[in-house]
Amino acid sequence: MHTSAPARVPAPRASDTARPGPCVLLKHGEVFLKGRNRQLFVERLHDNLRTALRGIGGSTWIKTAQNVTVLGGEVPREALVERARRVIGFNSVEPAVRVPSDLDTIVAAAVDGLSGPEYDGATFVVRARRRNKQFPLTSSRVEAQVGARVLAAIPGLRVDLTRPDVRLSVEIDHKESYVSWERLPGLSGLPVGSSGRALVLLSGGYDSPVAAHRAMRRGLACDFVHFNGAPYTNPASVYKAYALARELNRYQPPGELHVIALGKAQKQLAVAGAGRLQVVAQRRLMVRTASALAARIGGEALVTGDSLGQVASQTLANMVAVDEAATLPVLRPLLGREKQEIIDEARSIGTADVSVLPDEDCCSLLAPRRVTTRAELPHLRVLERRLDLDEVIEALLDSAQVLRPGMDDEEPAVPA
């Protein structure tokens, strides 16, 4: 049984946070808008960040200021940035330096940062935020003074308040301040796990991995289930599902992949006379089995990659027929998306290279030449009564293989 909270990673030692040096500023996303529950969301965000930092190869520390998390450690800053950019819930990830809160030191850090040849002739603006109201200058005075002194020290620079090449950001906290001049976009969204846990029906195509990623960005921790056509198809789709789940697990405390051999049950449906209902009947069997599996592992909803009308099996009537068989809500984050948008998003999250590979999906096994676009529930029920559904589902669940992509590097042993 899953608990949705990730395992805690030891808190940083106080001595780690005392030294000046490189760090990373992580600006909070939607969490920032939360009211009284904000602290809980921030704790979840930090738990996920600690999980993402596991195995990085050196000690790390995390510090919270208002609406910002500061990350540092005895590892190269690029490695911290790379890990932090995969944590859902930060609007931006900014490589920064941490200095004592006095103006001379802040200016020295800024001059140091902007002295490289890549900033020759660049335009810049200073943006300051003062969290420490005891600091002797207001934010706008800090901006003016830092700007003037940087300009005097680096004559190649020019000021542009509206469309600068570089935004020099100064965050003044109580004892220390953070200076940064590079801002990388984060993944924004809600911390994974803050909305509960879901089971994603993961095929080998472009859509379901993108749907999973979108579900994660709305705070759902995801496990995965993949149905393959074994024993009648080759194992290629299982390897693809494994690779996709491993990629997706880089964005969350890793979820499990359950692999279920559907081939025999598909044949039973065909023998029972499914005909043009075959694909919708299979989908109903998938969501029934997935609902039962989710109930066992703590999932509260199913997620699919359906997009309305994309293919014959995804008409409104067929989706209604599928939903009727599920005992958990079926979430479809891609319902209104177009295929090209989905493929572009698959490229940006890193799943497209796997999805494009050929496989022998269980859906093509026994698929009729024409799939019904209007599956009638009474016809489906008559068909399903010819099978002992409870027994079929029990057998499917018993044969499920559980893999942990990204948690260890075992290759999937393909179920018989």
Ligand X SMILES: Nc1ncnc2c1ncn2[C@@H]1O[C@H](COP(=O)(O)OP(=O)(O)OP(=O)(O)O)[C@@H](O)[C@H]1O
Q: Residue 201, interface with ligand X (CB under 6 A)?
A: yes
Q: Residue 202, interface with ligand X (CB under 6 A)?
A: yes
Q: Residue 205, interface with ligand X (CB under 6 A)?
A: yes
Q: Residue 207, interface with ligand X (CB under 6 A)?
A: yes
Q: Which of 73, 191, 253, 305 binds ligand X (CB under 6 A)?
A: 305
Consult the annotation and say whether 310 binds a ligand.
no
How far from 176 is each of 139, 162, 172, 362, CA to CA, in Å? 15, 28, 7, 58
Q: Which is nearer to ligand X, 65 or 311 (CB)?
A: 311
Q: Closest separation between CB of residue 227 and ligand X, Å?
A: 4
Q: Indicate the helix (H) or strand (E) that contains 98.
A: strand 90-100
List of long-range contacts for 74-78, beta carbons under 8 Å, 24+ apart: 74/16, 77/22, 77/23, 77/24
Q: Which of 47, 247, 256, 306 binds ligand X (CB under 6 A)?
A: 306
Consult the annotation and say whether 268 binds a ligand.
no
Q: Taking the CA atoms of 371, 377, 382 and 384 in sequence, report the sign of the dihedral they define.
A: positive
Consult the annotation and say whether 226 binds a ligand.
yes
Number of residues that bind ligand X (CB under 6 A): 20
Which burial class, exposed, middle or buried, applies to 274 when counting CB atoms under 10 A from its CB (0-12, 13-18, 19+)?
A: buried
The one segment of 86-94, 268-276, 356-364, 366-374 that binds ligand X by CB under 6 A: 356-364
Tokens of 60: 């790390």
Residue 348's CB: how many other CB atoms inside 10 A?
10
Q: Which of 107, 274, 362, 396 binds ligand X (CB under 6 A)?
A: 362
Residue 357's CB: how many other CB atoms inside 10 A?
12
Q: Which of 311, 317, 356, 367 binds ligand X (CB under 6 A)?
A: 311
Q: Closest separation between CB of residue 203 and ligand X, Å?
A: 3
Q: Which of 206, 238, 242, 354 binds ligand X (CB under 6 A)?
A: 206
Q: Taking the CA atoms of 149, 155, 157 and 162 in sequence, report the sign of the dihedral they define.
A: positive
**Helices then strands (H, E): number in the chain?**
14, 15
Consult the annotation and say whether 283 binds a ligand.
yes
Q: Residue 17, interface with ligand X (CB under 6 A)?
A: no
**262: phi then psi, degrees, rounded to nearest 5:** -100, -10
CB–CB of 181/169 below 8 Å?
yes
The one segment of 44-52, 91-99, 130-138, 309-317 that binds ligand X by CB under 6 A: 309-317
Q: Residue 223, interface with ligand X (CB under 6 A)?
A: no
Which burial class, exposed, middle or buried, applies to 11 when counting CB atoms under 10 A from its CB (0-12, 13-18, 19+)?
A: exposed
Q: Closest separation between CB of residue 315 and ligand X, Å?
A: 11
The one segment of 19-27, 180-188, 196-204, 292-300 that binds ligand X by CB under 6 A: 196-204
Q: Which of 69, 101, 304, 351 binds ligand X (CB under 6 A)?
A: 304
The one segment of 206-214, 266-274, 392-400, 408-416 that binds ligand X by CB under 6 A: 206-214
Consult the annotation and say whether 201 binds a ligand.
yes
Q: Which of 48, 101, 177, 208 binds ligand X (CB under 6 A)?
A: 208
What three-state secondary structure class fits 30? helix
Q: Which is nearer to ligand X, 99 or 290 (CB)?
A: 290
Q: Residue 315, interface with ligand X (CB under 6 A)?
A: no
Question: Among 277, 263, 261, 343, which residue's Cα sits nearest to residue 310?
Answer: 343
Q: Residue 73, interface with ligand X (CB under 6 A)?
A: no
Q: Residue 291, interface with ligand X (CB under 6 A)?
A: no
Q: Which of 90, 227, 242, 251 binds ligand X (CB under 6 A)?
A: 227
Q: Which of 103, 106, 107, 363 binds ligand X (CB under 6 A)?
A: 363
Q: Across-strand partners of 60?
A: 73
CB–CB of 305/203 below 8 Å?
yes
In three-state form (DSSP H/G/I as H, E/B as E, the rest C), the secondary structure along 302-360 is EECCCCCCCCHHHCHHHHHHHHHHCCCCEECCCCCCCHHHHHHHHHHHCCHHHHCCCCC
Q: Closest separation between CB of residue 73 and ligand X, Å?
A: 38
Residue 182's CB: how many other CB atoms inside 10 A?
15
CB–CB of 154/190 below 8 Å?
no
The binding site for ATP comprises 201-202, 226-227, 283, 305, 314
Binding site for ligand X (CB under 6 A): 201-203, 205-208, 226-227, 286, 304-306, 310-311, 313-314, 361-363
The binding site comprises 201-202, 226-227, 283, 305, 314
